[in-house]
């Protein structure tokens, strides 16, 4: 069985959950082989975790010549690894960096690229992906017809499977050209931690719209009770109530959580575009004719300022 490379998304060795989801997808397609860019000090711990979630092999790529630069060195290293390992596919997490490295790799190895898949199945030969396109109005099945399939997969497309693989660690050293090192990182500052999960990766998202009237406390209270990320409609962002990084929709972020709770959001097409692939959708809106109710699994007609605190209280009671 051929290897399926999974490029590990991590911060200082802390593996993000979407990588574990990719390992579950890789298992459907062949032998999961993770690719970790990082120092050897973190490699042992990282390898243990990847192994626990099904990695048969872990390629540790020393990032000494990679980490101080933007994406080009990573694409170059992956090109060399693909040439050596001849994998059946290469999977990335759909994020800004993942998509850019994937695109550069696809050009280098003259392979087809599919971005933002929400599912990947094995269909005998090449993997078949599912994408949700045109503001979620069409579902498209696609496969790569040239070269090694390169696929970026959205977070929450599947659940991680805790089933140990062989976890063989193999060091891989790449040769990075000077041309790949022309865009250097001169400073970086981590975003202040909110204590909540990242919006695009969260399993649960609680969003607020114009109906909040600018008071996001009930939204944040429910989000914290559920361990969820906070999102917002463009109306809430344009009003200056929340930063743009919280916006869900066509011109904001696309989320696909297990549970999306829309509060005081009417359900405009541009908002739906960013959330309608969520597995379960719940809405709280005081207008029983709000379009959001057309796509919900569960709807509450009521004032969010009373419904949400009541729900939060009950959830906290159950948790204790």
Q: Interface residues with ligand FAD (CB under 6 A)?
A: 209-211, 233-236, 247-252, 264-266, 268, 270-271, 274, 284-287, 290, 303-305
Q: How far is the CB of 65 from ligand FAD (least distance, A)?
A: 38
Q: Which of 191, 120, 178 lies closest to 149, judged by CA?
A: 120
Smallest gap from residue 200 Cβ to ligand FAD (A) = 13
Q: Is 34 helix (H, G, I), strand (E, B) or coil?
A: strand
Question: CA–CA separation, 157 vs 23, rounded Å?
Answer: 12
Structure tokens given for 200 = 């695009």
Q: Which is nearer to ligand FAD, 142 or 268 (CB)?
A: 268
CB of 153 to ligand FAD, least distance (A): 22
- Measured from the CB atom, the residue of 301 and 315 that comes closer to ligand FAD is 301
State in angstroms the smallest separation of the CB of 110 from ligand FAD.
35
Residue with smaller CB distance to ligand FAD, 173 or 306: 306
291 is written with which tokens? 């379009």
**Helix (H/G/I), strand (E/B), else coil: 139:** strand
- With residues binned 3-state (H G I as helix, E B as strand, rest as coil), the percentages for the chain, rounded to 5, are 30, 25, 40
Q: Of 2 and 270, which CB lies nearer to ligand FAD in the complex structure?
A: 270
Distance CA 154, CA 242 (A): 24
CB nearer to ligand FAD: pick between 160 and 302? 302
Phi–psi pair at 23, nearest 5 degrees: -65, -40
d(CA 60, CA 306): 52
User: Minimum CB separation from ligand FAD for residue 274, in Å?
Assistant: 6
């Amino acid at each position: 069985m051929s290897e399926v490379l999974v490029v590990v998304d991590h911060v200082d060795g802390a593996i993000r959950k979407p990588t574990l989801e990719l390992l579950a997808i890789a298992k459907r397609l062949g032998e999961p082989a993770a690719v970790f860019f990082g120092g050897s000090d973190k490699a042992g711990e990282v390898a243990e975790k990847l192994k626990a979630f099904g990695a048969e092999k872990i390629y540790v790529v020393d990032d000494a010549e990679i980490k101080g630069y933007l994406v080009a060195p990573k694409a170059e290293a992956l090109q060399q690894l693909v040439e050596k390992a001849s994998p059946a596919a290469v999977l990335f997490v759909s994020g800004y960096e993942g998509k850019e490295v994937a695109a550069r790799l696809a050009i280098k190895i003259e392979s087809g690229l599919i971005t933002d898949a929400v599912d990947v199945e094995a269909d005998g030969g090449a993997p078949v992906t599912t994408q949700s396109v045109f503001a979620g109005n069409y579902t498209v099945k696609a496969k790569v017809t040239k070269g090694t399939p390169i696929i970026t997969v959205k977070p929450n497309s599947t659940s991680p499977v805790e089933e140990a693989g062989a976890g063989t660690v193999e060091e891989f050293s790449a040769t990075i050209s000077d041309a790949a090192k022309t865009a250097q990182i001169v400073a970086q500052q981590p975003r202040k931690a909110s204590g909540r999960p990242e919006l695009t990766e969260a399993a649960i998202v609680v969003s607020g719209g114009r109906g909040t009237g600018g008071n996001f406390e009930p939204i944040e209270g429910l989000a914290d009770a559920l361990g969820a990320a906070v999102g917002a409609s463009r109306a809430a962002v344009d009003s200056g109530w929340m930063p743009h990084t919280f916006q869900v929709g066509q011109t904001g972020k696309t989320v696909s959580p297990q549970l999306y709770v829309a509060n005081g959001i009417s359900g405009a097409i541009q908002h739906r575009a960013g959330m309608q692939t969520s597995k379960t959708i719940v809405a709280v809106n005081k207008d029983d004719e709000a379009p959001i109710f057309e796509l919900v699994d569960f709807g509450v007609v009521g004032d969010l300022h009373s419904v949400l605190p009541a729900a939060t209280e009950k959830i906290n009671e159950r948790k204790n």
